[in-house]
Amino acid sequence: MATKALRWPAIPRHVEGMGGPIRVKLVRRVRVEGVECWGSWHSDRRSVSLDCGAPREHQWRTLFHELTHSALDDSGLGAQLSEAGNEAICEAMASLHVRLMRARLATEQ
């Protein structure tokens, strides 16, 4: 049986984070400390940058990852963990949210 492609909604420009509003920007290139990546969380500006050239589902995955960074920072938990610990939690939450969203989109479409 062929699987119908899911239609992922547009990335929101603003989301409500744990510690207040977060601006989401789609940009041509995302760099963190000179290294190109899919997205980044800027705690000083309360904004997330996402690569505008990535497939929509991957933009959502990256958004969930970066929003988890924001929640870890807002809670103070991020500072208690190693970088690897922060990244592992962000990847786990991104995977969970993508699966939840896939299931929701599959029932809606």
Residues near Zn ion, by CB under 5 A: 87, 90
Residue 2 or 35 having the CB closest to Zn ion: 35
Q: How far is the CB of 6 from Zn ion (least distance, A)?
A: 24
Cα separation, 85 vs 95, whole angstroms:
16
The residue among 30 and 90 lying less far from Zn ion, judged by its C-beta, is 90
C-beta nearest to Zn ion: residue = 90
Burial of 65 from C-beta contacts in 10 A (0-12 / 13-18 / 19+): buried
CB of 65 to Zn ion, least distance (A): 6
